[in-house]
Structure 1
Amino acid sequence: MTPTQRPCQYQLPQRLLRAREAVMSYFRPVLSRHGLSEQQWRVLRLLAEHGDMEAGDIAQRAGIHPPSLSGILIRMERDGLVYRNRAQNDNRRLIVSSSQRAMTLTQSIIPLSNDCYRRIEAHFSPAKLQALLALLDELENLPAPS
């Protein structure tokens, strides 16, 4: 192996994916019990935090590709979780709102989600978690490749 080559276990994308899977193993059972996918939960959390949002903003903040979000929102509307409406002043903008059912569901899941975070902190430590989050913020803000 040359000095510039690294074994697969040291490659950043794969390590980040494995870390994500380890974290999500805490949350998936909670979401599954409530009939939600990870993506649906991200949408509901954002709407709970910000109120009505444009679909494009949801896609960007939730890390969901816009074409995928479109299908997710259609299913969420069918299931009575969200409303989708065109903006009155610009028909190109899609505004997404939580239903009362979604707000109630979100309020019941938030304490369970917080418990998942506490369990992760218990294994990882609050200080390490804060350091990791700071490093991830830096990583997210890398300049675009030229």
Structure 2
Amino acid sequence: MMDSELRAFQKNLPMALLRARETVMGHFRPLLRLHDITEQQWRVIRALYGKPGLEVSALADKTLLLMPSLTRILKALEEREFVTSSMVEGDNRRKLIRLDHKGRAVHQMMSPLSEAEYKKIEAKLGAKKLKTLYQLLNDLSD
């Protein structure tokens, strides 16, 4: 392969990662639709679960969502009473987001269903390969 040639489309890493993501999300999308929740809303609910609250910037970092998207998602979640927001005491520029009781209830309903899908993925790949996959993806992200 010459330096100026592109690698074969099948060996294109972004496309391979996208195909894998779509395959994995295919396991979870029916569950999300069942509860009328978007993938991004679920990310926010999962990130907040078990936490006393997160500042918006920390939540954006944790969920890999851009601030304008997160703002829109939080508005929708607040309207559904899944989350509450309040200003950080002593600094009105910062906002703290907390999971409300409805958000916790959705998490508790979805968690066992989600975990069952993870078990299917693990059964397909095997525990060792799945662990290796997580390690490789983390290495790539670092």
* TM-score, length of structure 1 as denominator length: 0.92
Structure 2 stretches of 5 or more lacking a match? none
Q: Which amino acid aligns with 2:36?
A: G
Q: Which amino acid aligns with 1:86?
A: M
Fraction of identical pairs, as percent: 38
Q: Which amino acid aligns with 1:62?
A: T
Residue pairs, 1:50-89, within 5 angstroms: 50-89=51-90
Question: CA offsets per residue over residues 36-66 of structure 1, 9 Å max, x none?
Answer: 1011111111111433111111111111111
- Are 2:41 and 1:48 equivalent residues in the alignment? no
- Report runs of 4+ in structure 1 exceeding 6 Å deviation: none
Question: In structure 1, the residue corresponding to 2:27 is in which secondary structure?
Answer: helix
Aligned to 1:5: 6
* TM-score, length of structure 2 as denominator length: 0.94
Q: Which amino acid aligns with 2:128?
A: A
Question: In structure 2, the residue corresponding to 1:35 is in which secondary structure?
Answer: coil
How big is the shift at 1:2?
3.1
Q: Which amino acid aligns with 2:26?
A: S
How big is the shift at 1:5?
2.6
Q: Which amino acid aligns with 1:2?
A: M
Residue pairs, 1:120-135, within 5 angstroms: 120-135=121-136
Aligned to 2:94: 93
Q: CA RMSD in A?
A: 1.2
Question: In structure 2, the residue corresponding to 1:51 is in which secondary structure?
Answer: coil
